[in-house]
Amino acid sequence: MNVQEAIVSLLQTVQEELQHIADSQGLEGVRLRMLGKKGELTALLRAMGQVPPEDRPAIGQMINEAREKAVALLDARGQWIAARERALALANERIDVTQPVPGPGLGALHPISLVLGEVLDVFTGMGFEVVEGPEVELDLFNFEMMNMPPNHPARDAQDTFYIEDKIVLRTHTSPVQARIMTTRKPPIRIVCPGRVYRADEVDATHSPVFHQLEGLVVGEDVTMADLKGTLDAFAQRLYGPDITTRFRPSFFPFTEPSAEVDLTCSACRGKGCRVCKGTGWIEVLGSGMVNPRVLDMCGIASDRYSGFAFGVGLERIAMLRYDIQDMRLLYEGDVRFLSQFR
């Protein structure tokens, strides 16, 4: 078979094969077999060295014309395949606009937000005002005016995030109370919710970022009985009328006397269970009468006014309310966990 016959045969083969090619992958296979580096038409060009010199121009022209025809055949089939694939894609991806679709998913309040809303409802119902303050706080308000001088253990760098020597991430919401007492005159009745920061390792009961709500009442003739009555009303509004409080002596630099406050276990109603470890009581918050030194530093005459303060961790309340055993669940954003509170 001479070169001309070989070229005619190759073109005829290309035409016949292309009639059965219906996808881009098959088309590429034919192109490579004919026009690739090891293709059949390419092999004819490489064999030109064996052709007599006087015949090379004519044969070379024939091979080039055959290559152009092969490219045209491949391009035409490629356009047909592209149109077919586009039509199939449109048919497969067609949207039935009349078909009902599920609505957007509904979110839910975070359990800490739920608890905070309940607690604020209780205290605003008792006449408390809600106030907030900065999370990046001056050492003056966070420590000094809370009766914690420079050498106090609470200033340990292992417990406090220091931004500068005199600027910290607040370790409690008490500096909000100091700011209020330095700018207002009694009577004062406020609650201060917000995030606080301590250098704790993350585990089932600790986090470097958590939430507190502190309360402060300052006025004439405020006593420990007022504190207990307020906390009793808070506990009963939150957990039920049969809940009582128990005060245990404690120490806080900014209150004197100070007390840890336990509530009747809301799970067993004081009978003893795994939640309260059989005691019938749950430790919930700290409280006490405002230290007279704190009142004086804030410009309030301690010989005329007295007050009480208390602080509760919102995570603690949420974990008790919803029987959550691991605090980390509150921060991980797991939709499976959060959707239970919808």
Helix/strand number for the chain, H first, E second: 11, 10
CA distances from 251 to 239, 254, 277, 291, 314 (A): 27, 9, 24, 11, 21
E strand spans, the chain: 129-130, 136-138, 162-164, 167-169, 188-197, 209-219, 245-252, 255-264, 281-290, 306-313
Q: Minimum mean pLDDT among 77-81, 147-151, 271-275, 335-339: which range?
A: 271-275
* Residue 47 DSSP one-character state: G
- As a whole number, the mean pLDDT across the chain is 87
For 154-172, the pLDDT digits (tens) are: 777 668 899 998 999 999 9
Alpha-carbon span 48 to 46, nearest angstrom? 5
Q: Where are the domains of the chain?
A: 3-92, 111-341
- What is the pLDDT at residue 121? 95
- What is the pLDDT at residue 289? 97
In b/e form, how buried is each residue of 267-294, taking b as 16+ CB within 10 angstroms?
bbebeeeebbeeebbbebbbbbbbbbeb
Fold of 111-341: BirA Bifunctional Protein; domain 2 (3.30.930)
- What is the pLDDT at residue 227? 96
- What is the pLDDT at residue 97? 78
For 135-150, the pLDDT digits (tens) are: 999 999 999 999 998 8
| Most confident residue range from 91-95, 130-134, 157-161, 319-323 | 130-134
pLDDT band for position 49 (50/70/90)? low
Q: In what order do the strands lie in the sheet with 136-138?
A: 136-138, 167-169, 162-164
- What is the pLDDT at residue 192? 96
Q: Which residue has the higher pLDDT, 147 or 59?
A: 147
Mean pLDDT computed over 170-177: 94
In b/e form, how buried is each residue of 79-97, taking b as 16+ CB within 10 angstroms?
eebeeeeeeeeeeeeeeee
Helix (H, G, I), strand (E, B) or coil at 259: strand
| pTM, 2 dp | 0.67
- What is the pLDDT at residue 278? 86
Has residue 188 got a pLDDT over 60?
A: yes
Has residue 1 got a pLDDT over 60?
A: no
Q: Is 239 left (phi over 0), alpha (psi -120 to 50) or beta?
A: alpha
Percent of the chain residues topping a pLDDT of 90: 46
For 254-311, the pLDDT digits (tens) are: 999 999 999 888 778 888 888 788 888 988 899 999 999 999 999 999 999 999 999 9
Long-range CB pairs of 85-91, under 8 A, 24+ apart, other chains included: 85/23, 85/24
